[in-house]
Amino acid sequence: MLDTIDWVIIVAYLMLSLYIGFRYKNQAGKSLSDFFLGGRNMPWFVAGISMVATTFAADTPLWVAEVIAQHGISGNWLWWNMLIGGMLTTFFFAKLWRRANILTELEFIELRYSGLPAQFLRGFKSVYMGLFLNVVIIGWVNYAMMTILEVFFGIAPFNSSIPFFDNEIIWYLLGAMVIVVFYSSLSGLKGVAITDTVQFVIAMGGCIIMAVFVLNEPEIGGMSGLKEKLPDWRFSFFPVLEDGDNSAVGTFSISLASFLTFALVQWWASWYPGAEPGGGGYVAQRMMSTKNEKGSVLATLLFQVAHYCLRPWPWILVGLCALILYPELPQEESGKGFVLIMRDVLPAGLKGLLLVAFLSAYMSTISTQLNWGASFLTNDLYKRFIRKEETFETTGIAQKHYVFAARLFTILIMLCAIWVTSQINTIDAAAKFLIQAGAGLGLVLILRWFWWRINAWSEISASLAPLIGYYVFNYVLELEYPYNFLATIAFTTTVWLMVTFITKPEPNQLLHDFYQRVRPGGWWSKYAEKIEEKGYFRAMMLTWFFALITTYSLLFSMGYLIFAEWKSLVIWLAVGSIGGYFFSKYVRKIV
């Protein structure tokens, strides 16, 4: 399996991760701001790379390989469409999150809303997002890591019919999580982000080396051999606009209604982990950790470009090669082809490097989720409702106590996540439900920044209404996608608008203070002493639009360069150049 050189590489990597944890231990222990936001002085490129590293989990290359096996390159539009919302976050919200000067995303709730409804919303979300949803996400990532360990080392898969800790694979997973908990609980966000940067370089470099190496296998025969051995439809970058059965193997097909839903609705209307409308989660945490507002925008922009343009192509190439090398793999196990190539094709040294690459991807995601979840449980539950700061003799004692509590919460999340991982067969269905049941919430998360009339009841009703809509439109009326999704959005929007106008607005003084602190622009004229200069929103819209054109053009250009499609490359480079020119013209007005 592994040679001595492979084990040396793995041990060296683990030692480096532990060293970084010790290196930033003292700084992280000073205060909650140091522990959860790295002292708010994170270099923008470190914050941006940390975002990319977090989304590069152990499960993502395997998932992309599955998509490639079913729909070819065009299947990646299942996640490429999310760039629309990602760029909206970059230019409309990155500066606002940094300007709010808060410790966590949930602290925003009582900055923007007041009274018992705001307290309830903050407390509920601290547990729902920081613990429940968080361990579901960690469960996905753990499951993928178990798949890698199972295939790579020949370990028996998890078996729920035998005692939990009698499963050998659980001990491997627990060992990896303990290392992550150790360095993330010691070093806080600064150590996590620095480690993320190292991990991303290793993981991305390893995948690129792997793609080049497997392309040169005799069974593949280089890029020309790859293109000869696979049908043309697998290399199509774009889905087919027609009604089709997307459970069948073939080019990703999408109806006109589904296309319009992806392009015009889903990216702003639906809440989903990691791509929250208006920003949120670990993305907001990184934005708030940067040195200034400009750094927040640059970090988020780097994330979008690297996430969509750089990251997927090595995975896509390996996924295509796996179709040739392992044609017997069933569709539901096609993701294992990625791991089989690591095991069977790579020589000693590279095999250890690629295993480290996947371990890096796994650890960067887990460390971020642990730190982010602990921030909610510590700052928005424990500190806010259980042990308030005024109960301590000095601020210094309070901060040390809260950092200690944060470390304990990190361990608690790990223990819960281990159990959730053992329930992965039921968690998958629950996760799909959580994503679909957020339809309609996104608009409130966006408008709460730009419209003074949004109140706590608006967000509470927008969080609960999709649950009712999901049940009615899926199980009572039995509508198909996208009609069930669109109906839930319409129902949720109607409910929260009615609730907004039935209930009272937030107090005038709170709204005035919020605007003066954040200066978001939009419908705040009655509270704004100075209106944003004319044309500011127009400049933001145009910056967003041309950033999308430029980034999508860069994504396609990278692909056409790899596949030596010179005519298409020239076309998309020209489109990207035009988009880039106008982007640079308008971005100066808002950054």
Supply the pLDDT for residue 395.
82
Euclidean distance between CA atoms 409 and 405, whole angstroms: 6
* Tokens linked to 120: 């309830």
Helix H or strand E encompassing 243: none
Q: Quick check: 489 pLDDT over 80?
A: yes
* Tokens linked to 175: 């060992």
Whether a cis peptide bond, with omega within 30° of 0, leads into 157 is no
The most confident of the ranges 7-21, 428-442, 577-591 is: 577-591
Supply the pLDDT for residue 248.
60
The single-letter code of the amino acid at 380 is D
Q: Which residue has the higher pLDDT, 533 or 253?
A: 253
Euclidean distance between CA atoms 297 and 93, whole angstroms: 9
CATH code at 4-436: 1.20.1730.10
From residue 77, give the alpha-carbon distance in Å to each of 147, 253, 553. Answer: 25, 10, 14
Q: Which residue has the higher pLDDT, 125 or 425?
A: 125
Q: Which residue has the higher pLDDT, 534 or 5?
A: 5
In the predicted model, what is the mean pLDDT of the chain?
85
Supply the pLDDT for residue 174.
82
Residue 529 pLDDT class (50, 70, 90 cuts): low
Helix H or strand E encompassing 59: helix 59-71
The single-letter code of the amino acid at 95 is K
Supply the pLDDT for residue 318.
93
Radius of gyration of the chain (CA): 24
Average pLDDT over residues 84-112: 92
* Tokens linked to 158: 């998890």
Residue in 544, 35, 38 with CA at minimum distance from that of residue 286:
38
Residue 383 pLDDT class (50, 70, 90 cuts): very high
**DSSP conformation class of 455:** -
Torsion of Cα atoms, 556 then 559 then 564 then 566, to 10°:
10
3-class DSSP assignment, residue 575: helix
Residue 97 pLDDT class (50, 70, 90 cuts): very high
- pLDDT one-digit tens code per residue, 326-379: 988 887 777 788 888 888 888 887 888 888 877 877 888 888 889 889 999 999
Residue in 309, 303, 336, 318 with CA at minimum distance from that of residue 207:
318
- Tokens 């392992």 correspond to 326
CA 268 to chain centre: 16
Supply the pLDDT for residue 250.
64
Average pLDDT over residues 454-462: 95
Helices and strands counted in the chain (H then E): 28, 2
User: Environment class of residue 274 by beta-carbon count within 10 Å: exposed (0-12), middle (13-18) or buried (19+)?
Assistant: middle
Q: Maximum Cα–Cα distance for the chain, whole Å? A: 74
How many Cα neighbours within 13 Å face the side chain of 535? 4
How many Cα neighbours within 13 Å face the side chain of 444? 30
- pLDDT one-digit tens code per residue, 535-585: 777 888 999 999 999 999 999 999 999 999 999 999 999 999 999 999 999
Q: Quick check: 215 pLDDT over 70?
A: yes
Residue 523: phi and psi, rounded to 5, are: -90, 75
Residue 27 pLDDT class (50, 70, 90 cuts): confident
Q: Quick check: 298 pLDDT over 60?
A: yes
Average pLDDT over residues 303-326: 92
375 touches 36 (CB < 8 A): yes
For the chain, give every domain's residue range: 4-436
- pLDDT one-digit tens code per residue, 244-271: 655 566 666 777 777 777 777 777 877 7
Total-model pTM: 0.89
User: Environment class of residue 571 by beta-carbon count within 10 Å: exposed (0-12), middle (13-18) or buried (19+)?
Assistant: middle
Contacts of 586 (CB under 8 A, 6+ apart): 539, 542, 543, 546
583 touches 544 (CB < 8 A): no
Euclidean distance between CA atoms 53 and 42, whole angstroms: 16
Residue 154: phi and psi, rounded to 5, are: 70, 30
The single-letter code of the amino acid at 329 is L
User: Environment class of residue 339 by beta-carbon count within 10 Å: exposed (0-12), middle (13-18) or buried (19+)?
Assistant: buried
